[in-house]
Structure 1
Amino acid sequence: MKKLILVLLLAASILFQQPVYSSNVYPQSSIKLAISQYFDYRYKMLSSLSSDEGFKSLLDLDIAKDESMPDEADILNTIIEYRKSQYNDLRMKKFSYNIVYENIETSEDKAILLLSENADFYFNCAPTVKNSQSIDHKIILKKSDGKWLVLSDDYIDNDGIKKLFQKYFTESTSSILEIKKKVLDELKNQSLFRLSKLESIMEGFDKEICSVLFVGKPIAYNSGTVGEIEKGSGLSPVVINGRTLLPMRYICEGLGAKVDWDDSTKTAVIKSDNFSMTVKPGVKSMIVDGSTTPLDVPAQIISDRILLPLRAIANAAGKNVFWDERGLIILCGKEFDISKNTKLIEDLAGFYESLYTKTDFPRIDGSTATYPLSMEMGKELLGMDDTGVKGFITHNTTHNAYINLINKKADIIFVTKPSKEELDLAKKSGIELDVIPICKEGFVFLTNINNPVRTLTSKQIRDIYQGKITNWKEVGGDDAAIIPYQREPNSGSQTLMESVVMNGLTLTEPPKEHIVIGMGDLIDRVADFSNAKNSLGYSVYYYASQMYTSRDVKFLAVDNVEPNKQSIKEGKYPFIVNYYAVLRKDETGNSNARKLLKWLLSSEGQNIVDKSGLVPVKN
């Protein structure tokens, strides 16, 4: 079992970075192509072996530790245990492995670690070939019950190598360790991942502002410290009868007061050098510095904690208040000048409106091609890693996503424009749709790598799919019949083909064997199906170039413009399409789905679009 775990650790590591292979053994012009061929060979050779066969000759594990790093042993062991759990055996003969620290920042219960992970390894099928690789990581950890737990691992994945490997080796979800489950359970009511952003927003304001809170959000800034109002409980400000109530102990202790509970009188006694209060829940008055003060709304006990009206706390402590209708609350030692702090207000409101927990995150659905965007959003807004997001957000393909949105089983979907059938379905259900562009993509045409044709014009593509051009020799290729594959009706790709490429022209009715269900299946048909050399198909650029790659398929230039991220971004490629966020029109302006859309269209959200591999709709 120990050997199995060590193999899983290395397997995880090689999936994160591009290995370098000996050129005299695999003389390829493209490293990516060499890797693809190498792993294709390994997969075919090893697929018949039992899972134990690959572990027999595993040799050494070498971990280099820097003894000067604080808590380095605990943190290192946590990372190793976490990485061991992630991927299936890739059947190594032997390897050496080490971790080199670059920087670490630790607090009592949180650590941010920068490290490089290095490995030399040998495969059973090529035991004399040494392969080396290095991965840079930014790992965020949390200490709980004396153990460091990994919250997230941002790594460098050059050229999408991880996705390429995953075509041949599937991720093991059943082997995730209990430590991982515990972290995800703890995150259900927490938003720890984005605390550093609130800290950066508040830099320079610590002498002016005492507290920052937001209605319904469990994260706050209080007297120079950012964190949960009460760890793990989800305690937050609430609005009752038009009045905002704050967690009393949290605010008062932040102002330097001592809070005691007198169980005999059921009252809270608050004392500081500057003020004193006596508060009895349910009573519409309190005593401040010896005098009775009326309350519009009495103090409330919610989840065994006392919440007190905002104005009552501020007046008693001699603090000024800023509040806006979105729910933002700021307590200041002096009058808050709104005109001088417009950017601060908007930055804080933007932060809180994009602060989610698993319980209030909108239900997302979408197309296959937009799943990387949802993955990146989940990682950014919830602090999950790939495995956590996959267990929480699901895309059910374009048409099914529309059905789920219309049937109110999803709150927001990321898809192509609705087809006529989908619009009719929404109308029949009494649903109006809001369709808002969020990012751009290229609609690309694929043929087999052995097809001599390199480019088609827009007109030639339309003529082929109308049945006017039927032989490759008519477009500069071999004398062979063209096999033009199509997707199934209402799929995202088919809707794009009809609306963007054909632009109102009628597609010829294909034989049943030329209709392909699934984006990946179409690529497979073009790659290696019967008579594949003469086939033609279509997809979207990011999916075909990163999510489902094949060395046996090539992209065709259109009107002599190669499809790539740059030509799409610059608008030079002819077939540029939008992906859309689609919501029901009756979603209120302050719903979590609307807030997510607003964030997605912000500069921060558009950066996440770019990080996901798609092209932002806004510069």
Structure 2
Amino acid sequence: MGRRGFVVTAVAALAVLLAAPAGAGEKLTMDGSTGMLPLVSELAKAYQRKQPGVEIGFGKGIESIGGIRSTIEGKIDAGLVSRPLKPEEKGAGLKEVEIARVGTVFAAHAENPIAGITEQQACDIYAGKVKNWKEVGGPDLAILPLSRPPQEADPMVIREKIACFKALREAEGVLVLLKSGDMSNALASRAGTIGMTNTTALGALKGKVKALALGGVVPTQENVGKGTYPLIRRFFIVTKGNPSPTLVRFLEFVRSADGAKVVAELNAVPVK
């Protein structure tokens, strides 16, 4: 190829690059807490409307500990983690960016007329002392308590904040669900259930499940933001080492005014 042909080819290649949209060919992969997926997937969609060339993929949900491990091992670009990192996890090179705060809630099927319970009533239900909703002011309906593995964020928050849960042994009739998506499906499909979940996950269920007031305090965005509601869960995106420019730009969007709007629309409180 002559010099003239080389120059023409180089100019043509440059023109193609300049014509490509910002973010073209860029990819991000994230996985972790299934409770965070509804929120972060909506943030990703909003970001992609601004940067259509960026591809953002999510796994099926491997919970917070899975997101941490996969980030450490380099299998994903970022982990979705619904608790602060432990010192040993930070020691492995992980960094956290808090993106939202949500209320951990006791939830019931939307058709259950009960509006709320007390902390002691919640403990009595999970200890097997209370087995029918009529015992706590609800309908004559058997209670099916649903829980999560003890290392997951919702039960951790509950044990930390509710004194009678600290040493509580859950009754044999309590059904432990491995993923928050399983919790959502069970709450939406069975009228007698009570379960541990968060306000963002409830928002994705479109009215099929409702949050119960705890001690007379409703888990509204305002009450969560002010700290009036006691059970607060924090959402983090976790990275290892120096994140890629693509990931940095996405995190900047998440913490921007546009990102905060998406967070608020999904019943979460933006972090300033």
- TM-score, L = length of structure 1: 0.36
Deviations 1:109-168 (A, max 9, x none): xxxxxxxxxxxxxxxxxxxxxxxxxxxxxxxxxxxxxxxxxxxxxxxxxxxxxxxxxxxx
Q: Which residue of 1 aligns with 2:121?
A: 460
Q: Which residue of 1 aligns with 2:205?
A: 548
Amino acid in the other structure paired with 2:41? M
Could you say what secondary structure the match of 1:538 adopts? strand
The 3 A distance-change label for structure 1 pair 474 and 512 is: closer
The structure whose RCO (Cα within 8 Å, separation 6+) is larger is 2
Could you say what secondary structure the match of 2:28 adopts? coil
Distance 2:29 2:123 in 1: 38
2:61 paired with 1:405: no
Distance 1:402 1:436 in 2: 13
Distance 1:444 1:478 in 2: 20
Q: Which residue of 2 aligns with 1:600?
A: 254
Could you say what secondary structure the match of 2:200 adopts? helix
Could you say what secondary structure the match of 1:537 adopts? strand
Instruction: Give the superposition deviation at 1:417.
Output: 1.0
Deviations 1:219-258 (A, max 9, x none): xxxxxxxxxxxxxxxxxxxxxxxxxxxxxxxxxxxxxxxx
Deviations 1:78-127 (A, max 9, x none): xxxxxxxxxxxxxxxxxxxxxxxxxxxxxxxxxxxxxxxxxxxxxxxxxx
Q: Which residue of 2 aligns with 1:380?
A: 46
Instruction: Give the superposition deviation at 1:538.
Output: 1.7
If you compute each CA radius of gyration, which structure gives the higher value, 1 or 2? Answer: 1
Q: Which residue of 2 aligns with 1:575?
A: 231
Q: Which of 11, 29, 36 is equivalent to 1:370?
A: 36
Residue correspondences, number: 262
1:70-219, aligned counterparts within 5 Å? Answer: none
Contact (CA 8 Å) 1:462, 1:502: kept in 2 or not?
no
Higher relative strand content:
1
Which ranges of structure 1 fall in alignment gaps of 5 or more residues? 1-260, 269-300, 307-354
The 3 A distance-change label for structure 1 pair 396 and 263 is: same
Distance 1:378 1:444 in 2: 25
Distance 2:14 2:39 in 1: 39
Deviations 1:310-332 (A, max 9, x none): xxxxxxxxxxxxxxxxxxxxxxx
Amino acid in the other structure paired with 1:607? K
Distance 2:11 2:149 in 1: 53
Instruction: Give the superposition deviation at 1:480.
Output: 7.2
Contact (CA 8 Å) 1:456, 1:556: kept in 2 or not?
yes
The 3 A distance-change label for structure 1 pair 597 and 419 is: closer
Q: Which residue of 2 aligns with 1:263?
A: 4
Distance 2:165 2:26 in 1: 41
The 3 A distance-change label for structure 1 pair 374 and 536 is: closer
Instruction: Give the superposition deviation at 1:486.
Output: 0.6
Instruction: Give the superposition deviation at 1:550.
Output: 5.7
Q: Which residue of 1 aligns with 2:186?
A: 525
Contact (CA 8 Å) 2:70, 2:76: kept in 1 or not?
yes
The 3 A distance-change label for structure 1 pair 516 and 543 is: same
Distance 1:471 1:512 in 2: 10
Distance 1:502 1:435 in 2: 29
Contact (CA 8 Å) 1:442, 1:573: kept in 2 or not?
yes
Distance 1:393 1:563 in 2: 31
Distance 1:362 1:568 in 2: 30
Instruction: Give the superposition deviation at 1:524.
Output: 4.2
Which ranges of structure 2 fall in alignment gaps of 5 or more residues? 16-20
Q: Which of 534, 537, 540 is equivalent to 2:195?
A: 537
The CA RMSD measured in Å over matched residues stands at 4.2
The 3 A distance-change label for structure 1 pair 381 and 485 is: closer
Instruction: Give the superposition deviation at 1:372.
Output: 3.6
Distance 2:110 2:26 in 1: 47
Amino acid in the other structure paired with 1:393? G
Q: Which residue of 2 aligns with 1:393?
A: 57
The 3 A distance-change label for structure 1 pair 474 and 373 is: closer
Distance 1:477 1:611 in 2: 30
Distance 1:305 1:448 in 2: 58
Distance 2:206 2:171 in 1: 25
Deviations 1:154-187 (A, max 9, x none): xxxxxxxxxxxxxxxxxxxxxxxxxxxxxxxxxx
Distance 2:158 2:40 in 1: 24
Deviations 1:343-393 (A, max 9, x none): xxxxxxxxxxxx96253343322433333433333333333899x99x842
Identity percentage of aligned residues: 26
Deviations 1:463-516 (A, max 9, x none): 544x28434565345677653221235444444444455698134244376112
The 3 A distance-change label for structure 1 pair 602 and 392 is: closer
Deviations 1:393-413 (A, max 9, x none): 214322432232122112222
Instruction: Give the superposition deviation at 1:416.
Output: 0.3
Could you say what secondary structure the match of 1:408 adopts? coil
Instruction: Give the superposition deviation at 1:582.
Output: 1.5
Contact (CA 8 Å) 2:96, 2:238: kept in 1 or not?
yes
Could you say what secondary structure the match of 1:375 adopts? helix
Amino acid in the other structure paired with 2:57? I
Distance 2:41 2:250 in 1: 14
Q: Which residue of 2 aligns with 1:173?
A: none
Q: Which residue of 2 aligns with 1:470?
A: 130
Q: Which of 415, 428, 444 is equivalent to 2:105?
A: 444
Distance 2:22 2:169 in 1: 47
Q: Which residue of 2 aligns with 1:140?
A: none
- TM-score, L = length of structure 2: 0.72
Distance 1:595 1:476 in 2: 50
Distance 1:578 1:444 in 2: 13
Deviations 1:5-61 (A, max 9, x none): xxxxxxxxxxxxxxxxxxxxxxxxxxxxxxxxxxxxxxxxxxxxxxxxxxxxxxxxx
Distance 2:207 2:266 in 1: 20
